[in-house]
Structure 1
């Protein structure tokens, strides 16, 4: 068989960053499930199948730990190593197959073994090899993060994948270039739907899914649907398959997935509360929300935290906002639909977190904060959990100078890349230990700031000069804005917002250098 083992390699994978893989988020997820987070501050971390290497490189740059990874696609390994060369973090990247990697003699024992999505796209033999790596190389107390496509959510659209695979093998796919083949496969499925297919008539979700596919990136579709293997399983199957690796299920790395109030209606919550066995309960929850993707954390030697230790562990944590206070919505979308964030509580915690220039704050400090005195300690813990799970806040750390310099070096590389590409949508923060989502316009404002531009007008002019030099224009309501004055008008609006709200936050996150005397003090770090 070819070196790809049936894995789709004609197009490179997307440049995604996955915050739930951050060791700080894994620790928090353990804590949210009352399990002791036994991860050291400088973890030994392994990612299997790192794709473009965005996540592993940002985590390595923002950590004093040691990071290892393999992805058997050499083109992706080359790209990942460019990021590693920029940060000069302690990171080791290979293009070994999983079998080759498993046989390396220089591997340490790992505190974290993580794999995002690939479990669903690899052969049974490779899944066994990964399970064996976890069994042999995950140290006692370590955690495994495995995200994967799951049932029952994917069940209605399995036939769509089969149609696309058939087109790839027997239709026009063999004679087409990769993008053309994917376009043709999607169009082939759409033509079947338009031809009066009873399958699409009787399965409205499948029809909706097909329409959504037409808007998705072709690189993603190629990796999702065009592999020789497309493995779907229930959570109970996954838990059973990891028994031999001595792993115990802890919870979801996506914190909101574990909160019934955000996932289930009242009847579902009552029903689930009557189920005692954790594997059965979690599988039933998947049916109630029709889950199609899971982000599971398993631990080797999970230790439940007694009440006092649990409280102390929470009090020792620090948190920081990762979006400006004004950008936090009043409602968020969850499995049960739109859920309101009550202003009488969330506005208070947001104001407290935004105080003092967004400085990170320990839970112990927040419990004593003047604005939060009316809230119970558990209320504050719950609010922080929701804000973090929704992506508005993150656990914070006091970075060393080495970590800070690694992050600065990687961010310089990302900013230079922003001049020629829009494929990276994050910059790295030494305060959160990982990536922070920043769109291309914001990256250009950061670049202008590093070039010494300060006011909104100077930032806007810098960005316009860059866009004009490359022939780029802003887009409004789907239409390109051609006139210079109209472009500048839109850019100025964005620049004023950045100066007032975005820049102070990025200074707190140490993505932009803070004014003299700013930042998180050494005393606060302790």
Structure 2
């Protein structure tokens, strides 16, 4: 069964550079060209979108599944992407392979805590051999203590599935039914671990194909962050922080009474373990660098000032914000966020331009954390500091829109000005498919053409209201055009 198409926004080079810059670290220079490797790429959607949106980068996407690689390779060929190669290989094969070049970015998400210890060791050997000096490793994995309680449930689910009939969905359902039967019988495990019961209840509404890949895995295992940090340190990799911007701002991501207790914990592994306990962390997105490259105060200031930011579709135009964090709702100060949002609503702005706003000039130290919060919340994104290729992105976007309407559920389009992807719903996919062929359409003619396209693919059962498309034209389409998603 092919892995579902998933896009992880934290994997884009522009996102990673923005996070590292906020942390006061020197990131690989995208403008000068860079190399990027995704391990466990699935069907390749992440790498396809990033390769189209980053013409200065050279991309390698690796997966063991031949069907995954064929899917990614065929789309890359159809889109004319010459800066992306797909490779079918095991981690052990890849670790021993001779290559002429290393990588400035090595990323893997949803892999490291789903594979055997031998495979994790092979991944580390590859990183040790192939991560360039100053290069960045992104490592996403399940962690203790947030996933600790689920270990027993996953083990029973996996064991039941081994003896069940049918395909992955049917075997997953058999395992879930067995767990629910135990829960309903009053099993003490569920009374002691109510979060497991909540996760089980959410499984009814989840994508079963995705859950089958996640849970029907012999080597499924949360990891201790201290052990991961120690293993990467043994390779010469320095722990930097999280690719999730919020988690680099302790005051907004940790319970207030825990902050004082963390002040005396200087060892990174110990400090991160304490943070995991404070947050009940279930998933981590760790960043490491081969040879820490800190910026001095002046170079850090210059790097921040040079960064440029854009509003994303759906971003509020002003007002106070409420951020839904792991420690509960966090109120964003209207005096800080309103001027940022108002400026970005008028068009992309550099950090320096934002600081010239009277309301922000008085609080310069708050602007970088505010932008990181807006990045995390999906309201803003850094612009690419490198050449862009709208034609390549739009060629890929045509294929993705067509495939999505045919049932592929890609759910994302490439945004060249961001060097990243943006999430898109089914109506927006249909509109993108129309506008990529007929950019002049608008109003009633656009609505009727989109509706005809949905009917062609038998997707018009829930006929979109005109107001939906009008809202898309007013609010989303101008940003799409600004970012190069469509012409």
1:73 counterpart = 2:65: yes
Trace 1:15-26 onto structure 2 (pairs within 5 A): 15-26=5-16
Per the TM alignment, residue 407 of structure 1 is displaced from its structure 2 partner at its CA by 1.0
For each residue in 1:412-456, what CA deviation from the matched residue of structure 2 results, as whole angstroms up to 9, or x when unmatched? 211222331251111001111010111111111222333245333
Structure 1 portions without partners, runs of 5+:
1-10, 476-486, 514-526
1:406 counterpart = 2:392: yes
Contact 2:114–2:219 (CA<8 Å) still a contact in 1?
yes
Paired position in structure 2 for 1:122: 115
Paired position in structure 2 for 1:268: 258
CA distance in 1: counterparts of 2:195 and 2:264, whole angstroms: 30
**CA 39–399 in structure 1, closer or farther in 2 if over 3 Å, else same:** closer
For each residue in 1:81-100, what CA deviation from the matched residue of structure 2 results, as whole angstroms up to 9, or x when unmatched? 12311141311111111122
For each residue in 1:311-332, what CA deviation from the matched residue of structure 2 results, as whole angstroms up to 9, or x when unmatched? 1110111111122333888322
> What is the TM-score when the length of structure 1 is the normalising length?
0.88
**CA 107–224 in structure 1, closer or farther in 2 if over 3 Å, else same:** farther
Aligned counterpart in structure 1 of residue 211 of structure 2, from 215, 221, 231: 221
> What is the TM-score when the length of structure 2 is the normalising length?
0.94
CA distance in 2: counterparts of 1:327 and 1:58, whole angstroms: 28
Structure 2 portions without partners, runs of 5+:
none
For each residue in 1:8-57, what CA deviation from the matched residue of structure 2 results, as whole angstroms up to 9, or x when unmatched? xxx21121111111111111222222222234432111111101111111
For each residue in 1:208-266, what CA deviation from the matched residue of structure 2 results, as whole angstroms up to 9, or x when unmatched? 11111222111211121111211221110101111221000001001011112221222
Contact 2:53–2:415 (CA<8 Å) still a contact in 1?
yes
CA distance in 1: counterparts of 2:350 and 2:454, whole angstroms: 41
**CA 326–26 in structure 1, closer or farther in 2 if over 3 Å, else same:** closer
**CA 325–116 in structure 1, closer or farther in 2 if over 3 Å, else same:** closer
Paired position in structure 2 for 1:462: 449
Contact 1:68–1:93 (CA<8 Å) still a contact in 2?
yes
Paired position in structure 2 for 1:292: 282
Per the TM alignment, residue 276 of structure 1 is displaced from its structure 2 partner at its CA by 2.1
Contact 1:111–1:142 (CA<8 Å) still a contact in 2?
yes
CA distance in 2: counterparts of 1:381 and 1:219, whole angstroms: 39
Secondary structure at 1:118 match in 2: coil
Paired position in structure 2 for 1:479: none
1:153 counterpart = 2:146: yes
Paired position in structure 2 for 1:92: 85
CA distance in 2: counterparts of 1:373 and 1:95, whole angstroms: 50
Secondary structure at 1:294 match in 2: strand
Paired position in structure 2 for 1:505: 479
Paired position in structure 2 for 1:523: none
Secondary structure at 1:206 match in 2: helix
Aligned counterpart in structure 2 of residue 83 of structure 1, from 75, 78, 82: 75
Trace 1:232-251 onto structure 2 (pairs within 5 A): 232-251=222-241
Q: Which moved more, 1:329-338 or 1:191-200?
A: 329-338
CA distance in 1: counterparts of 2:62 and 2:38, whole angstroms: 7
